[in-house]
Structure 1
Amino acid sequence: MKHTKFQISIRSVWALMLALGMMTTISQAWAAGFPDKPVTLVVGSTPGSAPDTIARIVANRMSESLGQPVVVENRPGAAGSIGASSVARAEPDGYTLMMMTAVHSISPSVRDDLTYSFADDFQAVGMVASVPLLFVVNNDLGTKDMAAFIERAKQGDIFYSTPGIGTIQHLATEDFAKSAGIKMTIVPYKGGGAATKAVIANEVQLFFAGIPPALPHVKNGALTALGISTPKRSAAAPDVPTFQELGFEGYDVDNWHALYVPAGTPADVIGKLSKALNDAIALPDTAEKFLSVGASPNPNTPEIQDAFGISEIARWKNVIETNQIELGK
C-alpha cells in the first residue's frame, strides 16, 4: 500500500508526540524518587565566608525536607568561578547545586578566562538571601551623614578600599560616585577584612563593606556607617538609612546569594529543590542565623531568579561601560 507524504508526516508527528509523552512520564516518575542519595552544594569560597555560612544554614534545613543529606563542598578560587565551572560540567540530575552570588553576574564582564556561561549553563532553583553592603567612613573625616561626606568628597583626595578590582564593592562604589557627582581613587586590598582595617587605620577614607567585617567596628565607634545599599534597612543595622532614603532613587546593590543547578536539570527536580529551599528559609530560626552574616531571607521562584540573574549580568555590564571602569583585564 502506497502512503502519501501527508500520511507519513502525520504518523511522524504522532510518533514524536508519543515519544515526548513517554519522556515526560519517565521524567516525572524519576523525579518522584528524587533524591535517593546525598545532594552536593558547591560553594565557591572558603569555609567561614558569608556564602559558606549561608549555604550551611540552608543545607541543614533542606536535608530535613528532602530526606537526604545536603553536603556543602568548598571549591574556592578565581572569584567563585572554579566552583561554578565544576558545577556547569556536572550531571544535570539535581544532585549537584551551586551557591551563586552577585559576583557570578559580574564575572562575565570582568573575566576573560571563564570556562562556563552563567546565562547558558545554569538554571535557577531560587534566591536564598539578600546581603546588603554597608557604606563606612573613617571618623577623622568628621562626616556624620551622607550630605557632609559628599561635600567633603567634592574637595578631592578621597580614597576607598575594595577586596579587589571588579568586585561588587568596587562597582557599587563607582556607581555611587557617579550618582553623587564625585570622583574617588580605588585602593585594592586582599579581602574584606583587610579593606575594613584600612579604613580604620585611615589608609583610605571609606569602604563599601560586607556587614560582618564592618559592623562590629561601627558599634564600637571605630567607624561611621552612612548608608546601606539595599532598598530595605537591614535587621543587623536597623539605624543605618538606605541610599534611597538618602535621596539616591533607585540605588540598589544586593550581594545576593542564590541556588543554581546545571542547565538541563528536569523541571520536576528543580521544583522539588525550590520547595525545599523556600521551606528552609521560611523558618524563623533561619532568619536569625542569617543575621550573623548580615543576610535576610529573600525567597522567590526558579523563573523569577532566572530572569533576575540574566538582568544582573546586563546591569553590571552597563555599570562598567557607563562609568568607564578600568578593570585591568
Structure 2
Amino acid sequence: MNVMRTGILLAGLMALFLAVGYAIGGQTGMLVALVISVGMNIFAYWNSDKMVLSMHGARQIDRAASPEFYDMIAKLSRNAGLPMPKVFIMDNPQPNAFATGRNPENAAVAATNGLLSSLSYDEIEGVMAHELAHVKNRDTLIMTVTATIAGAISMLGNFAFFFGGRDRNSALGPFGTLLMIIVAPLAAMLVQMAISRTREYSADRGGAEISGKPMALASALNRIAGAAHRIENDTAEANPATAHMFIINPLSGHRMDNLFSTHPATENRIAALQRIATEMGTAPQAAPDHPSGPWSTSDTSPKGPWG
C-alpha cells in the first residue's frame, strides 16, 4: 500500500510540474518542462549523494578510524541483506542521521557525532537500522527525485512570475499564471511532505525488523526530537531542502522553514513502533534514560572514539 501511495504521489507531482509548464507556454512549455525535469533528475541521480554529503561536511571513515561504529553498520547490513554502505560522520552536536545514494550498491549512511556521543548503543543501532531500511526500500532515490521535481516547480513558478503573464503563449493568461505561481509550489511542498512521511513510517518498521529492537528506535526518536529543538543544526538551517533526509527534522523551528514538517509527528511514530514491538513479541517498554553515549567523551571532536 505504501509503495502504491508513493507512486501515485510521485505521478501527481510530475503532473503538477507539467501543468506549470503548460500554464506558462502551452504544449511547448509542457515539453520544455519535461526536458528540464528529465535533465535535473539525471543529474541528481548521479550527483545528489556527493552534493548532500559535502553540504553537511560529512567525512568518510573506515574500520580503522571507528571500529565499533563501522562493525555496527556491517552487522546491520548483513541483517538487512544489503552490501556494506560507505560510512560517514558529520561534526555536528545535534544528534541525527541520514542515508543517501542512488541504489543499495552505491549507498552511504551518515551520523552526527552528537548522535554517537549522546545515545545508547541500542538506540544508535536502531537509528542506523532505520537508515539502512531507507536504502533497502530505495527511498534515497525516491526522495532525491521528489526534492528535484519540487524544486523545479518552484523554479518554473519564479520563471512564470517574470515572463508568464506577458507571454501570449501562456495557456491561463495573466490571472491564471499568477494563481499557478502561488498554488503550484505549495501543492508541490505538500506532496513532497506526504511522500516523506509515508517513507518514514516504512523505514521505522524496516529498522525495527533489521535491528530487532523497535523500542530502542522509539527511545532514540524521542531523544533526538527533544535535542533537535535545543541544539541548532546550522548546516541544515542553511540548507532546509535537505531536512527531509534526516531521521528527525533537524530544523529548530525558530524559522519559517519549519512551518510544514516533512516528518510525521514523533509521538505517532513511537506509537506505531510500540505496536510493532507487540507484533514482534518485544515488550513495549521505554528504554532507560542514558545521560551519554556508550563511547562518549568530553571531546566530541573528530578524534573521539567514534571516529
Question: Do they superpose with TM above 0.5?
Answer: no
Structure number with higher helix proportion: 2
Q: Which has the higher strand share?
A: 1
- Greater radius of gyration (CA): 1
Give TM-score scaled by structure 1 length. 0.28
TM, length-normalised to structure 2: 0.30
